[in-house]
């Protein structure tokens, strides 16, 4: 390898004038207009050219000491801002650690080489990395790579080091300051963070960082009696403000968010918490220090419990403690809607308790980003109830954003766009307008029955799990609730929901359904769905373990309470419930025996029974494919849980991203399995539906209709798109296509369906 300027001999020292020209060019690039990123992109291009290198990359140091790929010429552009090397990782990390050049003729065979498939760097053998230093402090690493395997000359090392010095100058003088160059620079660039949607919608607005915690500086009390008085007054203020907040009109509707917030309010009244706070003040601490001590010791205990339930409880406690600190500091404990907050606020937090969201003025709040919130977190439930677009698991947002930055929250894809370019903003504005128009179109279809062009009626149902989901049934114009996941109430509650609580919930669900059919699913707990208040054994393979009906039959008291709640709640109405994870048909006999027993008990107490009872099985385990007739004899209806059925059919864990998308359910094995279920149900005239993810996507729903399904259940938001598809579909033609494809040796079914949909102008 030799640099262009050194045409005579690769060992000759760099000629001073040529070097000066190169450096001047580099400085010119840095003075050119454009943002930090475009300048870095130009620098790598220029350095690659000068050094005759196929690859030139700049890695910058982040606050945590890791190195992030900030710009590259030659490696995959997709890896920029994605590839991160841990401190000391790989040859680049080694260069940063030693603050010395690393010059390797055959980098991939070096033991320290760290292979990152996303970069595509396996093609390049020689590697030269030099540290980007400023006053001895590491800012990043400048790297060149070539395909040929050879060591770079001393002169190359020298030139690259000189270039690294100029890059350092730029980093310090320009957008960059201090040692955490990457972070500072990143605060000026457009950036996309991919998290997970935890509610629905798209929001465009400006960043507001959720208030950082108050730092307690005074630990010991001067006057313990006065301190106790401050604590008592603050506790009173806290409880009153919470009562007021929860009376807000937007939250008055029934729904699971109420349970979350009620539990939160009860936590504020918790005697144990108050006692611990008082004891801490009695020990001589200020009220502020007492709150912090109790918070820390509880956190230590809760974090030892490694599950989401306790994490949520911890967040509740943090929320209460922060609130109490603010009251003690004399800060506003009411609505936060001050003038300095943007009118189109995107609220950003590492994590958040449920009530913290309610502190903000709803009229300004457009979106929420929580770095470690999941779909079942309490803040997500409240965001959904308020109809605010929210994304969780958006790691790195807080460190990359400044107050007032433009931000887009896409709670469809889970993407967060920080400081988006004008084109991205335009695209999203279009998307929001398009969504609004599409909504209007779907709303217009609300009362149109889902009938195919050749006259096949398809019943569309919604999947639900919380009372708050029920209004969607009518809004979407669905025919009923095809799957009500009862375990969600159990997972959100902090004690086992008693009979009366269960009855109340199921009654509410039936009342809100207003005569439309509802299929309750009996508890699907155990395995990975852990209830913290229920002792469960540790399992090697929870998805295949002691869960759902297996647990229910072994612990009949629990299951019988639920059956009793179903029977009482549905008094005088039609009761439909189904059993998850049925593996052998005979399990349904055991379920029926329990139902009969409960009916006898209620009857002997002269309680009104349901007008009709239909007991169904979920078809989720492939063993049932081999006793179809026996199963059909034992059930009143069947519902295919396609998520679990494909997980077990392909032996691919649906929660493991390495394999969950590896096998396409829209393929011959799954379609054949579904076809045999449809045929058996038709033979025995057993009502059949499907309630897994396959039903909610227009293309896969089209396949289901072709296979013969006439009833499917999906997320409420999917009803409109699936109905549009059905209205433009000729079911007979899809059936013929499937029969044809399943006779072919290796059909690429998804591609064929896509072609078919396009040719037939089907809305997918």
**Which of these ranges, 135-143, 144-152, 189-197, 642-650, lies near ligand PEP under the rule CB under 6 A?**
642-650
Considering only residues 514 to 533 of the shown chain, the ones binding ligand PEP according to CB under 6 A are 524
CB atoms within 10 A of CB 613: 17
Between 356 and 620, CB nearer to ligand PEP: 620
Which residue(s) pair with 19 in the sheet?
none
Q: Are 513 and 480 in contact (CB under 8 A)?
A: yes
Give the one residue of 55, 358, 595, 691 binding ligand PEP; rule: CB under 6 A: 691
Considering only residues 428 to 467 of the shown chain, the ones binding ligand PEP according to CB under 6 A are none
| Residue whose pair of structure tokens reads 């894809």 in the numeric block | 413
For position 641 contacting ligand PEP by CB under 6 A, the verdict is yes
CB atoms within 10 A of CB 563: 22
Query: What distance in Å separates the CA atoms of residue 301 and residue 303, rounded to the nearest whole number?
Result: 6
* Minimal distance, residue 760 CB to Mg ion, in Å: 32
* Minimal distance, residue 471 CB to ligand PEP, in Å: 21
Task: Determine how β-strand 126-134 pairs with β-strand 102-104.
Answer: antiparallel
Clarify whether 691 is annotated catalytic. yes
259 binds, among ligand PEP, Mg ion, none (CB under 5 to 8 A by kind): none
288 binds, among Mg ion, ligand PEP, none (CB under 5 to 8 A by kind): none
Q: Which position among 170, 191, 208, 378 bears the catalytic label?
A: 378
* Minimal distance, residue 618 CB to Mg ion, in Å: 6
CB atoms within 10 A of CB 553: 14
Between 358 and 617, CB nearer to Mg ion: 617
Token pair listed for 304 = 């030892």
Clarify whether 257 is annotated catalytic. no
* Minimal distance, residue 482 CB to Mg ion, in Å: 13
| Strands, E assignment, 117-156 | 126-134, 137-146
* Minimal distance, residue 169 CB to ligand PEP, in Å: 56
**In the sheet where 67-73 sits, what is the strand order?**
84-85, 67-73, 55-61, 137-146, 126-134, 102-104
Residue 490's closest CA among 544, 520, 527, 534?
534
Between 317 and 582, CB nearer to ligand PEP: 582
691 binds, among ligand PEP, Mg ion, none (CB under 5 to 8 A by kind): ligand PEP
Give the one residue of 205, 342, 497, 692 binding ligand PEP; rule: CB under 6 A: 692
The DSSP result for 494-546, as a single string, is SSPPPHHHHHHHHHHHHHHHTTS-EEEEP---BTTB--TTS-----SSGGGSS
* Minimal distance, residue 643 CB to ligand PEP, in Å: 3
Q: Are 201 and 388 in contact (CB under 8 A)?
A: yes
Token pair listed for 195 = 């998290």
DSSP 8-class letter at 745: S
Token pair listed for 586 = 């005979």
Between 477 and 641, CB nearer to Mg ion: 641
The mark string for 50-69 relative to Mg ion (x by CB under 5 A, - otherwise) is --------------------
319 binds, among Mg ion, ligand PEP, none (CB under 5 to 8 A by kind): none
**In the sheet where 345-349 sits, what is the strand order?**
191-194, 415-418, 406-410, 202-209, 345-349, 365-370, 389-392, 196-197
**Which of these ranges, 307-315, 470-478, 635-643, 726-734, lies near ligand PEP under the rule CB under 6 A?**
635-643
* Minimal distance, residue 687 CB to ligand PEP, in Å: 17
* Minimal distance, residue 686 CB to Mg ion, in Å: 19
Q: Are 520 and 578 in contact (CB under 8 A)?
A: yes
Give the one residue of 644, 666, 688, 705 binding ligand PEP; rule: CB under 6 A: 644
**Which of these ranges, 117-125, 298-306, 637-645, 719-727, lies near ligand PEP under the rule CB under 6 A?**
637-645
Give the one residue of 482, 641, 665, 716 binding Mg ion; rule: CB under 5 A: 641
**Which of these ranges, 51-59, 172-180, 399-407, 634-642, lies near Mg ion under the rule CB under 5 A?**
634-642
Between 184 and 524, CB nearer to ligand PEP: 524
Helix (H), strand (E) at residue 434: helix 422-445
Token pair listed for 493 = 């509650």
Q: Where are the alpha helices (DSSP H) in 72-223?
A: 90-98, 154-173, 181-186
Task: Determine how β-strand 389-392 pairs with β-strand 365-370.
Answer: parallel
For position 665 contacting Mg ion by CB under 5 A, the verdict is no
Helix (H, G, I), strand (E, B) or coil at 52: coil
258 binds, among ligand PEP, Mg ion, none (CB under 5 to 8 A by kind): none
Query: What distance in Å separates the CA atoms of residue 709 and residue 700, rounded to the nearest whole number?
Result: 12
Give the one residue of 315, 485, 547, 723 binding ligand PEP; rule: CB under 6 A: 485
Residue 352's closest CA among 327, 375, 378?
378
For position 643 contacting ligand PEP by CB under 6 A, the verdict is yes
CB atoms within 10 A of CB 369: 31
Q: Are 39 and 64 in contact (CB under 8 A)?
A: no
Give the one residue of 620, 708, 716, 741 binding ligand PEP; rule: CB under 6 A: 620
Give the one residue of 73, 155, 644, 693 binding Mg ion; rule: CB under 5 A: 644
For position 342 contacting Mg ion by CB under 5 A, the verdict is no
* Minimal distance, residue 269 CB to ligand PEP, in Å: 34
Between 83 and 463, CB nearer to Mg ion: 463
Residues near ligand PEP, by CB under 6 A: 483, 485, 524, 620, 641-644, 691-692
User: Among all residues, which ones are annotated catalytic?
Assistant: 378, 691
Residues near Mg ion, by CB under 5 A: 641, 644
């Amino acid at each position: 390898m030799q640099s262009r300027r050194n045409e005579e001999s690769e060992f000759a020292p760099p000629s001073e004038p040529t070097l000066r020209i190169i450096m001047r060019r580099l400085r010119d690039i840095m003075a050119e207009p454009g943002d930090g990123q475009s300048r870095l992109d130009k620098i790598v291009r220029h350095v690659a050219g000068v050094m005759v290198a196929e690859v030139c990359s700049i890695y910058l140091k982040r606050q945590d000491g890791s190195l992030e790929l900030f710009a590259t010429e030659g490696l995959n552009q997709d890896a920029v801002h994605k590839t991160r090397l841990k401190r000391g990782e790989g040859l680049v990390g080694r260069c940063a650690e030693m603050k010395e050049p690393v010059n390797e003729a055959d980098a991939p065979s070096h033991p320290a080489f760290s292979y990152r498939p996303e970069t595509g760097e396996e093609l390049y053998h020689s590697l030269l990395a030099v540290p980007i230093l400023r006053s001895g402090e590491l800012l990043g690493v400048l790297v060149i790579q070539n395909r040929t395997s050879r060591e770079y000359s001393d002169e190359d090392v020298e030139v690259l080091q000189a270039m690294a010095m100029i890059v350092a100058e730029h980093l310090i003088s320009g957008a960059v300051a201090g040692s955490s160059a990457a972070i500072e620079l990143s605060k000026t660039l457009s950036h996309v963070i991919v998290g997970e949607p935890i509610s629905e919608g798209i929001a465009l607005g400006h960043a507001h960082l959720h208030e950082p915690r108050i730092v307690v500086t005074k630990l010991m009390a001067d006057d313990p009696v006065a301190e106790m008085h401050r604590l008592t007054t603050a506790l009173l203020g806290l409880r009153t403000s919470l009562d007021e907040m929860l009376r807000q009109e937007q939250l008055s509707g029934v729904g699971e968010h109420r349970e979350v917030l009620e539990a939160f309010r009860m936590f504020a009244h918790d005697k144990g918490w108050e006692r611990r706070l008082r004891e801490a003040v009695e020990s001589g601490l200020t009220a502020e220090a007492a709150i912090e001590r109790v918070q820390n010791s509880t956190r230590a205990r809760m974090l030892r419990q490694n599950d989401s339930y306790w994490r949520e409880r911890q967040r509740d406690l943090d929320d209460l403690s922060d609130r109490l600190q603010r009251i003690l500091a004399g800060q506003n404990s009411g609505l936060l809607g001050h003038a300095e907050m943007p009118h189109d606020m995107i609220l950003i937090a590492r994590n958040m308790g449920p009530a913290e969201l309610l502190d903000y003025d709803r009229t300004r709040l457009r979106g929420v980003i929580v770095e470690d919130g999941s779909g079942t977190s309490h803040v997500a439930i409240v965001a959904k109830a308020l109809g605010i677009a929210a994304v969780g698991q958006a790691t790195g947002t807080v460190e990359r954003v400044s107050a007032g930055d433009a931000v887009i929250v896409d709670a469809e894809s889970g993407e967060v766009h920080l400081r988006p370019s004008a084109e991205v903003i335009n695209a999203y504005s279009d998307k929001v307008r398009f969504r609004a128009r599409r909504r209007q179109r779907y709303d217009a279809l609300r009362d149109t029955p889902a009938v195919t062009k050749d006259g096949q009626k398809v019943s569309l149902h919604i999947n639900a799990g919380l009372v708050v989901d029920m209004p969607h049934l009518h809004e979407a114009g669905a025919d009923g609730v095809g799957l009500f996941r009862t375990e969600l109430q159990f997972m959100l509650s902090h004690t086992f929901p008693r009979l009366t609580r269960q009855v109340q919930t199921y009654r509410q669900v039936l009342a809100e359904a207003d005569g439309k059919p509802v299929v309750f699913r009996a508890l699907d707990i155990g395995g990975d769905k852990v209830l913290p208040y229920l002792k469960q054994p540790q399992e090697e393979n929870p998805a295949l373990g002691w869960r759902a009906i297996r647990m229910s039959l072994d612990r009949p008291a629990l299951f019988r309470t639920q059956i009793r709640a179903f029977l009482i709640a549905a008094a005088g109405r039609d009761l439909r419930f189904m059993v998850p994870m049925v593996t052998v048909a005979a399990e349904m006999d055991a379920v029926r025996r329990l139902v009969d027993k409960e009916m006898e008990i209620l009857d002997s107490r002269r309680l009104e029974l349901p007008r009709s009872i239909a007991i169904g099985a979920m078809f989720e385990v492939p063993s049932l494919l081999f006793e179809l007739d026996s199963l059909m004899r034992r059930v009143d209806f069947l519902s295919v849980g396609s998520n679990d059925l494909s997980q077990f059919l392909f032996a691919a864990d649906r929660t493991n991203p390495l394999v969950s998308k590896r096998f396409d359910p829209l393929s011959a094995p799954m379609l054949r399995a579904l076809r045999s279920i449809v045929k058996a149900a038709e033979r025995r005239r057993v009502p059949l539906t499907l309630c897994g993810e396959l039903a909610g996507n227009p293309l896969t729903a089209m396949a289901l209709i072709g296979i013969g399904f006439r009833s499917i259940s999906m997320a409420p938001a999917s009803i409109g798109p699936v109905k549009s598809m059905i209205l433009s579909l000729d079911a007979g033609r899809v059936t013929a296509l499937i029969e044809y494809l399943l006779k072919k040796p290796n059909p690429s079914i998804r591609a064929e369906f896509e072609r078919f949909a396009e040719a037939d102008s089907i809305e997918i």
